[in-house]
């Protein structure tokens, strides 16, 4: 690796780690535990993605690529996956219920808006929605989760959709799950674009660094409104090709794809002489 490329990568790594460290420390994960997971990630990625000439991976090869010793590599590769991985399935299913409520004509009123759904009607009510879009998740479990995060309100035996998205708040299991999926998706897209000799994946943003604080409330509202409208349009288009929503669709393989939008803001501190300020 060229010195300049390595310097840029290290700078990017430190920026990512500073943001991640805030979340880790706030949730009781100190450096020794982080180091264990970092070692596991190095071993797993070296095993899965850095094979030579199509040959089967080996502990020795992983040790060379990762910088870990062979005994440590074997221990890390033999470590079972975390049980917390079920959070991904739970998150995806809750999000799909909300999406189905928004786009499926069966659950919209004559005005085209999501209608209030009976909690007792197994054919056209909330239980039917959950059954269609969440698989085998219990209706009560999905309802409790959506009520907890403020996406749904229960009123007189009916469920009312209060928000047009499922977005857990706070450092709970579901909110932290988004950290794992969304950040890893972004990094995977950047990595793909860095390696690609052909077409790249879409990755753009809008950013200015001299905006007065007084302009932020209107900008936040504008960005949220237009981002949601775009995501809903993209959702309608992508759902046409989804075999869970349309079981009659034929085709080979199974691909996970999508588009993510996020908002950011922070005080701007000019970087003197190309270096970041120390805090």
pLDDT tens-digit profile of 27-47?
A: 778 899 899 999 999 999 999
Is it true that domain 1-80 has CATH number 1.10.10? yes
pTM for this model (two decimals):
0.65
CATH 1.10.10 region(s) of the chain? Answer: 1-80
- For the beta carbon of residue 276, count every other beta carbon within 10 angstroms: 13
pLDDT digits (tens, 9 = 90+) for 111-147: 888 999 999 999 999 999 999 888 778 899 899 989 9
pLDDT digits (tens, 9 = 90+) for 75-119: 999 987 664 445 556 667 788 899 889 888 889 888 888 999 999
Work out whether the CA dihedral 132, 133, 136, 140 comes out positive or negative: negative
Best CA proximity match to 146, nearest among 158, 135, 154, 157: 154
Tokens of 60: 């020795």
Count Cβ atoms within 10 A of the Cβ of residue 115 and give its class: 0-12 exposed, 13-18 middle, 19 or more buried.
middle
Does an H or E element contain 141, and which?
A: helix 139-148
Q: Give the chain's length.
A: 279
Q: DSSP label at 125?
A: S
């Amino acid at each position: 690796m060229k010195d300049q490329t390595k310097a840029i990568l290290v700078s990017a790594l430190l920026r990512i780690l500073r943001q991640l460290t805030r979340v880790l420390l706030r949730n009781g994960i100190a450096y020794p535990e982080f180091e264990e997971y970092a070692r596991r990630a190095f071993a797993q990625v070296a095993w899965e993605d850095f094979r030579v000439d199509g040959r089967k991976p080996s502990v020795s090869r992983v040790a060379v690529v990762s910088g870990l010793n062979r005994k440590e590599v074997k221990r890390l590769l033999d470590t079972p996956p975390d049980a917390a991985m079920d959070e991904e399935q739970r998150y995806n299913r809750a999000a799909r219920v909300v999406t189905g409520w928004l786009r499926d004509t069966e659950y919209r009123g004559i005005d085209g808006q999501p209608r209030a759904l009976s909690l007792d009607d197994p054919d056209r009510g909330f239980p039917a929605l959950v059954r269609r879009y969440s698989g085998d998740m219990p209706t009560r479990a999905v309802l409790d989760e959506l009520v907890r995060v403020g996406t749904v309100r229960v009123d007189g035996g009916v469920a009312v959709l209060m928000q047009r998205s499922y977005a857990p708040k706070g450092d709970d299991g579901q909110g932290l799950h988004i950290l794992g999926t969304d950040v890893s998706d972004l990094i995977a897209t950047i990595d793909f674009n860095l390696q690609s000799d052909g077409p790249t994946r879409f990755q753009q943003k809008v950013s200015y660094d001299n905006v007065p604080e007084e302009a932020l409330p209107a900008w936040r509202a504008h960005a949220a409104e237009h981002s949601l409208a775009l995501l809903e349009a993209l959702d309608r288009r992508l759902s046409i090709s989804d075999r869970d929503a349309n079981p009659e669709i034929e085709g080979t393989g199974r691909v996970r794809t999508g588009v993510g939008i996020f908002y950011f803001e922070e005080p701007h501190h000019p970087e003197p002489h190309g270096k970041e300020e120390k805090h």
